[in-house]
Structures are given as C-alpha cells and as structure tokens.
Amino acid sequence: MKYVDEFRDAATVQALAERIAQSATRNWTLMEVCGGQTHAIVKHGLDRLLPPSLTLIHGPGCPVCVTPQHVIDQALSLAQRPEVIFCSFGDMLRVPGSHTDLQSIKAQGGDVRMVYSPVDAVTLARQNPGREVVFFAVGFETTAPATALAARQARALNLDNFSLLVAHVCVPPALQALLSTPDNRMQGLLAAGHVCAVMGYWEYQPIVESFHVPIVVTGFEPVDILRGVLACVEELERGEATVVNAYARAVTREGNVPAQQLLKEVFEPVDLAWRGLGTIPLSGLGLAPSYRRFDAAERFETAGLVSSESALCRSGEVLTGRLDPRQCPAFGKECTPDTPLGATMVSSEGACAAYYRYRHGQ
Amino acid sequence: MCLALPGQILSIDHDDDPLTRKGRIQFGGVVKEASLACVPEAGIGDYVIVHAGFAISRLDEEEAEATLREFAALSRLQDDKSAGADLHAPRPKGGVHG
C-alpha cells in the first residue's frame, strides 16, 4: 500500500536503530503517548532494537482504556434498553463494566451494533424511526470530528431518535497532568501523530516551555516511530526541549482547521475523570448547548448505577506508565483477553493487550 | 482507535455540500467510502488519511517523498559506516524496555 509499505522498510528501520544507538550517550526515558504506537512498538519489536540506555514507557493514549468505569456502566445500561440500538466502535465490545460487557448484552438479545463510523449511526437512525439510536462516542481529538459531523448531520436532518453518549478526551491536558505528577519519569514525549493531524502541534508549545520536555510529533509505522525516537533523543542529547514534527506528511503546525471549527461548533471543553489520572480540568469534550438535545446522558435516566472495578486490575498504573503490564500479578493469570479484568487487556490500543498478544509466553 | 490509513480518492460525491461531501477511497486493494467534509482542498487522485470513515488530513506527497529521500540517505550513510571498522562488531543487545 502506497505511503504505508515504504514506512515499514526493514533496512530503514535498521539504519534508524543504528543511528539512535550512536546518538544516545546517556540513559533516557521516553513515553509514546498513543496506544496505537505501543502496539506497533511491541508488535514489530522496535523496543528490542533500541540500546539499553533507552527506555520506552507506554502512555495513556487508549481512549477506551481511560474511559472511567461509571461511563462504561452507563453505556451498558443504555445498551440493555429494549428501545435502543446501541452503536459502538468494535474496540469497546469486550471492555468489562461492573457486571457485564457489550458483547454479552448482544449475546443476550440486546441490539448492539458495531459501526465503522459515527455517521453510520446517523444512517441507522434514519432507517429505524421507531427506535432510539445511541452512539457511544469514545476517542481522542482524532475521532471527535467524525462524531461532530454525525451530530451536525443529525441536526440538519432534525432526527429526534439519535443521541450520543460522549466520552471524548483531549491529549494536552492529560500530558500536563502526567508531567505534573511527582513520580514522573518521562524525559521526552512522542506525541500521537493522528491527534496532531487534526489539532496541529501549536498546543504543545506551552507544555515544552513549562516542563522542558521535548515533544516529537510521531507517526505509526515502524520507520515513523524510530524517526520520532531519534528526533527525541537528539533533542535530549543537545539539552533542548522543542516541539519537533517527525510526521510532516500528515501533520502541519496549525492542523486541520475545518475539523477544529467543527469541534468548536459541536463541543465545549468539560472537566473529565480519566481512569488512572483522576479528574483533569477541561480535558474532555461535552456537547455544546445547541447540541445538547442529542445528549444520551440527558435523554435517558441512568442515575443510581453503582460501579465497581476489579481489585486486582492495575490498569490505572499501566495507563500512566508506572507499571509494565508484565509486572502486574494478574497479567496472563486472572487477566487474559478471554477473561479481562480491565480495558487495557482487550482494547486494540491497550498496553496489556499488546504484551499478551505479541510477547506472552516468550 | 487512532488508527488511520492513507488512501487515494477515486471519486467524490456531494462536492457542493460541505456537510455530506464524501469520496470513494482506495486502500491497497480495498475501496471504502469516507467523509471528505474537512479536507475541502483534497481532489480526485489525492491521498487522504482516513480514520473512522472520516478524512482527517490530506497527505502531503512532497513531504512524504522528502522523508523517503532522507531515509535513503541515512541508509547509505549507515551502510558506509558498517562497511568500515566495526562490520562484525556485536550489535548492542536490546533488552525489553517496558
């Protein structure tokens, strides 16, 4: 596939790994923010190509994983309602709530549909005027514009049987929260390239200035990731902390302006609870007043839900880079992809899932 | 979930309406529909990066080619270095850096 295969070239990966080894003269700890990058690193063994002086820790960039338990339970409660067609990305289907998950609800007769795009849920609402179609809007700034477009379409069509359970999260406030923790270990950050394709990287300038940590906008293919690592190591070795764009084919400083305008029209920043990080001010997107009639949390009564989490699951520590999944006592024992205790074991961006899939038993 | 792939625009529908502008996009051997609402500058033949049925960015082919040229130069440089003194030197043994 053009613009994919070239960035998986083994000889280039090798050359970049050698260059990184030559450049790193001291110990450095970098965090890749996005779970998609974590999976690429573990899948392709990129961490094993790096010199021992470099440590990669995995960040909170798995939206399904950071969604707190009470929101998952709210989703499950909506999915169980007989009048509801509950639409979700496939990534969420096996995430455990307090008592069940979407896949089990579907197996028991609930109308749970996996959709490719939020706009597909708008189509379902048009096709099923007698049913309530709810889309579970989870994701970072990469995904939020697609949700915003669905909301705009629903408003233009005047659909009264379409609503959104919104759990969209924003990267920069979470990075600030992570960098502010007293036990922060990261000295450099690989920023999530597709978030930046939408938002640009101007938002990171104040962060590198406040925390003196270089941030490198990084893509997702093996070559892109090592290029990001190299740029970050070079910054650290020079004692610099700037924002570097190592994914220029997809990202510009200002980002996708029409998409940002769409976000501004449909959403407003809200305080949000993150699994592992607690409540972070203005780190989420809620529906703006003119779109609030599409808010599933207001349309349906879900008060009185009592959430509980596995006492064994340490996904909060995994999501903040404080625990390697393999150090979790439950990893591969009580917690497997078939019997997950937390979202990090089943999401396609969860760090536990990456290690179980590509490294377990090695 | 931030998975997004570059694909080439084969055709465009609803070109006059920014809300519903969409295209047929080819990803290798697969063709899928995606919204082009937020990439008004992208036309037929251009590559766009698509996430959740939504084009988030037009791929800058000049930047992509420039990056590939940079890598080709880096590979040559590393080859020259390896062809020097330490051709058979053991590679640093990377542990697992979780």
With 90 as the cut, is the pLDDT of residue A93 above it?
A: yes
> Which residue among B37, B39, B75 sits closest to A149, beta carbon to beta carbon?
B37
**A51 to chain B: closest CA residue:** B94
The CATH number linked to A64 is 3.40.50.11740
SS3 of chain B: helix, strand, coil, percent, to 5 = 20, 30, 45
Q: Which of A55, A49, A75 is nearest to A64 (CA)?
A: A75
- For residue B64, give both structure tokens: 């992509």
Residue A142 belongs to a domain: yes
pLDDT band at B84 (very low <50, low <70, confident <90, very high): low
- List pLDDT tens digits, range A107-155: 999 999 999 999 999 999 999 999 999 999 999 999 999 999 999 999 9
Average pLDDT over residues B2-8: 91
Amino acid at B57: S
Residue A362 belongs to a domain: no
With 90 as the cut, is the pLDDT of residue A260 above it?
A: yes
**A155 to chain B: closest CA residue:** B19
List the beta bridge partners of residue B58.
B48
pLDDT of amino acid B83:
72
- For residue A178, give both structure tokens: 């992570």
Query: What angle do the packed helices A222-238 and A10-23 form, to 10 degrees?
Result: 10
CB contact under 8 A, B94 and A49: yes
In chain A, what residues touch B93 (CB-CB under 8 Å)?
Answer: 52
Q: How many domains are contained in chain A? A: 1
CATH number belonging to domain B5-59: 2.30.30.140
**A223 to chain B: closest CA residue:** B71
> Could you tell me the residue range of the domain that residue A36 belongs to?
1-298+305-357
- For residue A213, give both structure tokens: 């940590």
Residue A93 belongs to a domain: yes
In chain B, what residues touch A4 (CB-CB under 8 Å)?
Answer: 5-6, 28
CB-based contact (8 Å) between B46 and chain A?
no
Complex confidence, ipTM: 0.94
Q: CA A344 to CA B38: how far, in whole Å? A: 31
Average pLDDT over residues A194-204: 98
- Strands (DSSP E) along chain A, which ranges? 28-34, 54-61, 84-88, 112-114, 132-139, 162-169, 188-192, 215-218, 243-245, 267-274, 278-287
- With H, G, I as helix, E, B as strand and everything else as coil, classify residue A164: strand
With 80 as the cut, is the pLDDT of residue A244 above it?
A: yes
Question: Do residues B42 and A250 lie in contact, with contact meaning Cβ atoms separated by under 8 Å?
Answer: no
Task: Record the pTM.
Answer: 0.93
In chain A, what residues touch B77 (CB-CB under 8 Å)?
Answer: 15
Mean pLDDT of chain A: 96
CB-based contact (8 Å) between B5 and chain A?
yes
CB contact under 8 A, A142 and B51: yes
In chain B, what residues touch A89 (CB-CB under 8 Å)?
Answer: 1, 52
